[in-house]
Each structure stands twice: as C-alpha cells, then as structure tokens.
Chains A and B, each alone.
Chain A
Amino acid sequence: MRSVKFRLLTIPLFIFFLASIIQAQDVSSFEKRIAVKKLPNGLTVLVMERPEAPVFSFFTHVNAGAAQEVIGITGLAHMFEHMAFKGTDKIGTTNYPAEKVALEKVEKAYAAYLAENLKEVGRDPQKIAALEKAWQDAIEAAQQYVIPNQFGEIVESEGGVGLNAFTDWDETGYFYSFPENRLELWAYLESERFLHPVMREFYKERDVVYEERRLRTDSSPQGRLDEQFLGAAYKAHPYGRPVVGFPSDLKAFSATDAGNFYKKYYVPANITVVVVGDLKASEAMPVIEKYFGRLPKGPAPEPLRTREPDQNSLRQVILRERSQPFYYDGYHPPDLHDPDSAVYDVLGDLLSKGRTSRLYRSMVRDKQMALSAGGDSSYPGNKYPSLFFCFAIPAQGHTAAEMAAPIHEELEKLKTQDVSEAELQSIKTRAKADLIRGLADNQGLALQLGFAQALYGDWRELFRQIDRIDKVTAADIRRVAAKTFVEENRSVAMLETKAADDQSAKQTKGDQQ
C-alpha cells in the first residue's frame, strides 16, 4: 500500500530503445510474445509469454487514484485499495447473508454518529457518545462473521509472493506472483475481489491507514515537507492533495463512500490486467476471459475537468523543525502528451542521473554543499501535467536556503549553453540500457506494460518514447529550459533546522550537531 512516490515503477517509463543494438529485444520480438484483448465488458487484458521459470506475475491497473477524489473524501482511493484485501462474499466470512445485514447496520449507525459529530451548531456531546457507542456495538456485532485476512491467507498458502498494492494520484495497482499452475486460481481470486468486494472491518482498517499516515507523513520531517511542497505547487489540481488523505477526511469517510467510489471507478472499462510469465497466451486468455468477463459492464467515468491554472508567481513554503534541512523546487511543465515530454526526460537525466550528472558534479563533488542532489522529470504523476522537480540534501553545516542558488545556476546554464553532443549521446545510450535492465523480471515487466497500456492505450508506447528521446537536440533543451525554468513558475519547499530553545532537552541539542 505504498501511497506515495512509487518511483521505481514510474521512472522506467522514461526510457527509450535502439532496435539496431538490441536485436533480441525489439518491438517485433515483443509483438510475438504479447497478446492484447479487450473483453466485451470493456476490460483490457495483456498477456506476455516469458517462459524463464514456471512462475508468473500480474498487475491489475485501475485507472483511478487520489486525483479522482474530491475534498471530503481525500484518501478514499487508497482506503479502497486496503479494502480489496478484505475478501468477498465467499472469502473472509462465515455467513455472508447475516454479515451483510450487520454491515448495513454499521453504516446506519455511523451515519447517525457522523451527522451529530459534524454539526456546526448545537452539537450534543452526550448524544455523540451514545451514537458512537451504538456504532461501535454494531461493528462488534458484524465482526462475529469475519475470518480475518482470509484472502491474503489463501494467496500466501498457495505460494503467492510479493502480495502488495499501491495507490498514487494517477492509479491504483494490485500485484503478486504465483507458480504457473495457479493461473486459474489467480484469475478466480483477482476477479472475485473486484466482482464482490465486501467493506468489512472498514473502520478498523481506517485506523490502520491513519497509522500509515502517521508513519509516512506526520512523524517524518521529510514526509511533512513533501505534503507542504505539493500543496504549494498545486492550487486547483488534486496533485496538490495527499494520497493518504487529510486527517479530517480520514476520520470521516465511510464504507458507503468507499462503495460508491468503487461503483464509479472500478468498472471494466477502467481496468487493465497484465500477466507476464510462463504461460501461453492462447491458453491463458480464455481462462482470464472466463473469470474477468464476469465483471458487469458500466459507463466509463468522466475525465477529470480541473487543470492547474498557469502559475504566475513564485511560491515558497518553509518548515522550521528540529531536524536536518532539505530543499525542493518544482516547475510546471506540460503533460506527457506534450511534444516536449521527451525533452523533459532528457533534462531530468542530464541534471540528476549518476555521478556525471550536472547537479552531482556541481553540488556534491565541486561545491561540496550537498550530501545528494537530483530530480525527476515528472513528479508526482504521469497522467496529468506534473512537476519538473529538483532536490538537494544539504551537507553538514549548510542550510536549505543555500541550495537554491547553485541549483538555479545549473538551470540557467541549460538556457544559455548548448549541452555537448557527447553528453547528449551518453544520456540516450543510458536510457536504452536502463530499459533493457528493466526487462529481466516478470513483475517489473507487468508493471511497465500495464502503465504504458493504461496511460496511452498501447503498450508499444513504451518503445515509441525511444524515438522521441533519440530526436532530442541541444536546441530543444535550451528552448524547453527557457520556457520552464523561470521564477514565476517555481515552487520551493525548504525544511530548515530550528535553533534549539533554552528549555529543550539535551537530546535536542545533540540533534543539532
């Protein structure tokens, strides 16, 4: 349930490919091993044959993430992801008909409690306490039918590994790997999970998710900074809101809300299922269709309306904490369908990849101001216009504010000086090799193919980006840098170390070292 920054999986999208060098791995060799089918209900299935070992991995991509939430239900996409591990009407229950009735009572009791609790005028604490007790009693009554975590238990005892899922702003993903003889069992379990989900143990799981928020955000200085950074960079678009949800929403949304989110977004037209491994497409496809074909057709959800308005002013947030400093800045570029997307990929690599990158050489090696420095050409997502992002972790004795000038100096250079042909060629070669390195495992392949298929409607887009990157010129880099890296398009977030106050304990002073 990674809720933020699923970076390892999204970065391989910025890759390219030179078919002349990699004979064995060109698009046509993939064509032979990949079958894609759109089922009558609208669900897309992609099967890739990779008979290296008698195992397979899958990726269920649901084209709905935190960007589909509205204020009041922030965190709900991620919450539903957790609920997809709670079982079905046949898994995880001793008596579903009775449980169903009990869960309906929980929802009624919760709605009554919430209504009283959210009253702006005339809240009655006694009434709230009574309603809360009634709600908790209803939860207790429903709990008697639950077999906890039976879904995960089946997957694990049948030999599943890497059972996991993630939610980000763009999408929700579910994945694990099985021995190849469990293909049909997988198809049954995975389709049942989205055919008959049951919102059991919802409010206990909401507490678990709140602990996840404490772990990743509230109790982590960097997590607190991440949240403020995106909040500053986005005023209208949901990329500015935390995937895990705002605290008040996390304490308010209901199982009914989660059910409604599911009904709207978990329709077959919004789901892509990718399977990679030791299987034959001709045999696997009918099995997958038999089970996933059962999902009832529904209308595809409306696309998101809101676009981030043009930024016209420098934005800056500063957190003062008793921890060591961090520096972030970000710039709004256009989205991935923009003709310049490949230029941003090259820019990201140029600035931040490895020990030859501009930021490493300037800030870590030469100026010795940073422990590390780098960036990302598309943060926090890929589906909607996203940020070109730079960061620096100041070396001991340096403040976050000191990081700004050397980063901006490097960005300015990109506008005024042509990148050398050798540097450009090196980036293109590296990107190609990184693609190849990402093709050596079933789960990684399933994820990459799934992202490309779902985001662009065609897995081949993974390879087409190659040609675009290969065409990027030094002039393109100057042109794009000049239009992007300007002050009024910048959002900055800094965490600065707060001076220890006199009353603070001696640990605190130690922290300042």
Chain B
Amino acid sequence: MMRRRRFSVPLLIATCISLGIAQTSRPQSKASHTSSAGNITSWKQVPIPPLHPFNPQQPRRVELPNGMVIFLQEDHELPLINGVIRIRGGGRDISAAKLGMGFIYSASWRTGGTRSKTGDELDDFLESRAARVETSAASDSMFLSWSSLKNDFDQVWPVVIDLLQNPEFRQDKIDLAKRQIMSAISRRNDEIGPIAQRESNKLAYGPNSPYARTAEYSTVAAVNRQDLLDWHKRTVFANNMMLGITGDFDAAAMERKLRDSFGNWPKGEPFQSVKTEFHDPVPGTYFVEKDDVNQSEITMVDLGIERNNPDFYALEVMNELFGGGFSSRLFVNIRTKLGLAYSVGGGIGADFDHPGMTRFSVATKSSSTAAAIEAVRKQIDDLVQGGVKESEVKKAKDGILNSFIFEFDSKERVLAARMGYEFYGYPADTLERYRAGVEKVTVADVERVAKKYVHPEKLAVLVVGNSKDFDKPLSTFGKVTPIDITIPPPPK
C-alpha cells in the first residue's frame, strides 16, 4: 500500500535536547482489563501504557580552531564505522553553461583516484575490505562518505584524506562520467514520471532557475578537467566542511584522530551561493504529449515556503490532513472513493534556505484525465473555501506527535538531523520547536494558512499523457501551452 511521506518534513528531524516525547497514552480502563481478546469490541478498549522513558544519545560537537565542525556519535551495536563529510556548494552553484558539472565532479572525484592511486586501484583496495568510500552531489553540497568494518578504519581513513587532499580527476574517468550523463540525458523522455517531475520543476521555479534547470549535451561537453580542479580548490577547506562520524569507536580517541587529520588545514573564504530571485509560476494548463502510455501524470505546482516561516507548523498539519496519509482528503476522495488513481498526494513544500515547491499530483488513466484534474481542483477549492473539521486536525496532529519518537530511532538518524540543522544555521532546539509548534496548531490556524498559501488560481497545471484518449480536451480548462521536450542535439 503506497503511502507518501509527509510532504515537507525531512525524515531526519532531531536535535540536542533531552526530550519529553509527546505521546498519547490510554490507561487501562476497567472495561478493557481483560485477559480475553474476545471481549474487545473496539480498538479503543486496547490499553496503551506510557512510553518507556528515553533520552536519545546526542552526538558530541567539536569545532576546530580553523572552523571545521565535527560531530561524533558512538554506536556500539555493530562493528562498523560510517561517516560523511558535507561540503558547501553544489549543483545550484554551477554556471548555466556547464550544467552537469556537479555530477561529473562528484563521480570522477572518486573514480578518478588520487595522485598516487588510480580509482580502479582504490576500488580493489576497498572492495577487498568490504569498505566503501563514495562521493555524491546535491543541490547545495557535495558529499564524501565512507563505511567500513571497524577494524579496517585505519586503512580506509587514509583513502578519505587522500581524496580530499590529492584528487587527480583522471581524464578517462571524466570522459566516463560525461558519457554516463549524456546517456542519461538521452533517456530522460522515456518514462512519464520523470518527465512530469522535471517539467513541473521548471514551471514552478522558472526554466532557468538553479532549482529547475537541467544538463544538456552542450553543457556537459563544455566541462573540462580544470573546472573540476577549480571547484575542488574553491570548496574543499576546513571551514567549508562539516564531518559526522558514527559507529563502534571511542569518541575521545576518534576526536584525537580527526584533530590530527584536520587540525592544520587552512581556512578559506566561506562559499556563498548566489542569491536567487523567485517568481510565481505562470498559471495555466501545460501539456506534454506521450503517445505510448495509457495513463496521464498530472502535476499542479506553485512556490512553497521556507522552513523557518512561522506558519510552517500549521502547514505541516494541513499537509498531513490534505495529502499525507491513508486518511488524507486526497487519498480518501481521489483514490478510495473515486478509484481514479493509485498514486495521489501533495502539499505545500518547505525548504531550509529557499522556497520549497508546492505540488499536488495524481496519475490516472488517459480516459479520466479531465475528471482527475477536476476532482483534485475540487479538493483544493474545498480546502481553501470549505474549512477543516476539528476531528481532521486532531487526527493529523496525533499522527505527527505520536510518531515523533521515530525521529530518534537510531543514533545515526539523530546525528544526521543534527548535522542538517547546523548546516542550514537552524537553532539547536529546532526539533523541540517543531513539536511545540505542531501541538499549538488550531483549526483556525489551518484554515488561515490554507487561504494564505494554497492558491488555486495561481497553479500551473502540467499534464503528461496521451491526448487522443482523454475524456475531454484540456482546452476545457482554458488556454493550453504545449511543452516541447525535444532533446537539443549535441554540438557538432
């Protein structure tokens, strides 16, 4: 049974406080105090004792004199040591002429090896120890991560340091990465889901936005080895990196090791992303023809909010009741009652340092495309105009608060959340604020934010599908703007 995750809360929400986890419990009533399950006539009679007391272990935070921040989290359950270094600067910071460089950089950083060892030699060395050292690119950062059996840490750690200090970016691996990204470009119009994702991003943020633009053959071809070396130099220095490590080690001893490794690294000029301007999407109906499918992917988008918006908590509750789980309005009405879709959901998006993307989406058979658009629109209108019920708000809040404990269900998760908040400059008690914020949300709050942030008239509606089988022409909804997804050919 598919369920979409809560739309905008990163799974990893946690911080350094000792928590009183909010939890409802239900004392054993006389009626339910029975040894026979047969007497139970309602789930409400099943007793729920108080939750075991729990103080999640917090990572130790160390800031080196050169500005590098390190988090250490001991976890002795398994004989492993895992870690990650997050480096500021990512895909959104790549120049428009060289899009794709983020992937090429992160791939060939690892596969291109170091001055003394080729990437293939590193592969053999690591695989024989069942260890991993990998690199990856995100919108705002690059990641270098590793995992090994604890006894192999002292052999694997020098590989991590060598990659940071002496990356070689060998040309054959740059070429391999470029061929791979070009192959991926050639495949990007094969499946409707990814087409809808890509094109709706462009509608929400604008086609040239750092949060929506895509690599092309020409921009990939423009990337050269010097670009990668320059990027590395520009981003890899002590106060632009954050390190998190977890596993079966002694934190004090590990801290010494890491201080030895990074203590004498120089500081640099902190990386700054260029400020981006955000504009509302142009409302209307947009269409991509795909004549080899029998299902339409419908996506309605708008700009969302930043995570530090005080209305965030009310929107979380609204998202939960509108497009969150099994009992949300979109799921119940579009899927369960109308049988129009397997996949349906959505809500107001929030991101840490820029507006998230509001997205409502549904996939339905070609012959109910218009019906599904109307049905989702009706739900959106009802949300804005019709208000919400007390019982819905309670149910949504209960769901968020009763499952809050899962934000702490592993030491690694607590570590990852802590790093995330630190990275984006959010306060250490962000999680506590989240819980308290959600607890305070009222029906009036949800109704107010629904009116303020859900804009039916401003939505850009994208349909990817097979128009000859639609129940009604899309022009029923007004002017239709066709989108040409032809892949621009490679430069000669």
A104, CB-defined interface residue at 8 Å: no
* Shortest Cβ distance from residue A99 to the other chain B in the assembled complex, whole angstroms: 16
With A211-B364, A324-B190, A511-B189: A53-B292 Cβ-Cβ less than 8 Å: no
Are B183 and A185 neighbours in the complex by a CB distance under 8 Å? no
A158, CB-defined interface residue at 8 Å: yes
Which B-chain residue is minimally distant from A279 (CB atoms)? B52
CA distance A440 to B127 in the complex (A): 21
Interface residue from A154, A181, A393, A439 paired with B78 (Cβ < 8 Å): A439
Interface residue from B43, B46, B124, B288 paired with A356 (Cβ < 8 Å): B124
A312, CB-defined interface residue at 8 Å: no
Are B395 and A185 neighbours in the complex by a CB distance under 8 Å? no
Task: Identify the stretch in B138-146, B265-273, B336-344 within 8 Å (CB) of chain A at 4 or more residues.
Answer: B336-344
Are B176 and A365 neighbours in the complex by a CB distance under 8 Å? yes
Residues on B with C-beta less than 8 A from A396 are 179, 182-183, 185-186
Interface residue from A1, A179, A206, A211 paired with B23 (Cβ < 8 Å): A179
B48, CB-defined interface residue at 8 Å: yes
Residues on A with C-beta less than 8 A from B43 are 90-91, 154, 185, 188-189, 192
B390, CB-defined interface residue at 8 Å: no
Are A440 and B77 neighbours in the complex by a CB distance under 8 Å? yes
B47, CB-defined interface residue at 8 Å: yes
Are A207 and B339 neighbours in the complex by a CB distance under 8 Å? yes
B41, CB-defined interface residue at 8 Å: yes
Interface residue from B1, B38, B294 paired with A219 (Cβ < 8 Å): B294
Are A82 and B187 neighbours in the complex by a CB distance under 8 Å? no
For window 13-71 of A, CB contacts with B under 8 Å fall at: 21-25, 52-55
A153, CB-defined interface residue at 8 Å: yes
A262, CB-defined interface residue at 8 Å: no
CA distance A181 to B398 in the complex (A): 15
Are B189 and A161 neighbours in the complex by a CB distance under 8 Å? no
* Shortest Cβ distance from residue B442 to the other chain A in the assembled complex, whole angstroms: 17
* Shortest Cβ distance from residue A223 to the other chain B in the assembled complex, whole angstroms: 9
Are B405 and A1 neighbours in the complex by a CB distance under 8 Å? no
A321, CB-defined interface residue at 8 Å: yes
Interface residue from B3, B52, B399 paired with A159 (Cβ < 8 Å): B399
Are B327 and A152 neighbours in the complex by a CB distance under 8 Å? yes
Residues on B with C-beta less than 8 A from A81 are 1
Are B295 and A218 neighbours in the complex by a CB distance under 8 Å? yes
Interface residue from B51, B127, B179 paired with A181 (Cβ < 8 Å): B51
Residues on B with C-beta less than 8 A from A440 are 77-78, 80, 410, 412
Residues on A with C-beta less than 8 A from B396 are 157
B65, CB-defined interface residue at 8 Å: no
Are A165 and B1 neighbours in the complex by a CB distance under 8 Å? yes
With A52-B410, A324-B190, A426-B127: A152-B326 Cβ-Cβ less than 8 Å: yes
Interface residue from B25, B41, B185, B332 paired with A90 (Cβ < 8 Å): B41
Are A322 and B292 neighbours in the complex by a CB distance under 8 Å? yes
| Chain B interface residue bracket vs A | 35 or more
Residues on A with C-beta less than 8 A from B185 are 396, 513
For window 5-58 of B, CB contacts with A under 8 Å fall at: 21, 23, 25, 35-38, 40-43, 46-52, 54, 56
* Shortest Cβ distance from residue B351 to the other chain A in the assembled complex, whole angstroms: 22
Residues on B with C-beta less than 8 A from A354 are 123, 127
CA distance A160 to B128 in the complex (A): 40
Residues on B with C-beta less than 8 A from A149 are 326-327, 331-332, 336
* Shortest Cβ distance from residue A50 to the other chain B in the assembled complex, whole angstroms: 9
Which B-chain residue is minimally distant from A57 (CB atoms)? B409
1/0 contact string of A479-513 vs chain B (CB within 8 Å): 00000000000000000000000000111011101
A10, CB-defined interface residue at 8 Å: no
Task: Identify the stretch in B92-100, B473-481, B484-492 within 8 Å (CB) of chain A at 4 or more residues.
Answer: B484-492
With A90-B41, A90-B43, A159-B403: A507-B342 Cβ-Cβ less than 8 Å: no
B240, CB-defined interface residue at 8 Å: no
Are A159 and B46 neighbours in the complex by a CB distance under 8 Å? no
Are B186 and A290 neighbours in the complex by a CB distance under 8 Å? no
With A181-B50, A437-B80: A507-B486 Cβ-Cβ less than 8 Å: yes
Which A-chain residue is minimally distant from B333 (CB atoms)? A148
Residues on A with C-beta less than 8 A from B124 are 356
Which B-chain residue is minimally distant from A436 (CB atoms)? B78
Can you spell out 9 A-B residue pairs with CB atoms less than 8 angstroms apart? A148-B336, A152-B3, A156-B325, A159-B406, A322-B292, A426-B127, A506-B486, A510-B485, A513-B217
- A55-B409, A204-B336 provided; 6 other pairs, C-beta below 8 A? A24-B77, A90-B41, A148-B337, A159-B398, A510-B487, A511-B190
Measured CB to CB, the residues of B under 8 A from A are 1-3, 21, 23, 25, 35-38, 40-43, 46-52, 54, 56, 77-80, 111, 120, 123-124, 127-131, 147, 149, 151, 176, 179-180, 182-187, 189-192, 217, 288-289, 292-295, 325-327, 331-332, 335-343, 363-365, 395-396, 398-399, 401-406, 408-412, 484-487, 489-490
Shortest Cβ-Cβ A-B pairs, 7 listed: A152-B326, A510-B486, A159-B402, A433-B130, A207-B339, A153-B327, A219-B293
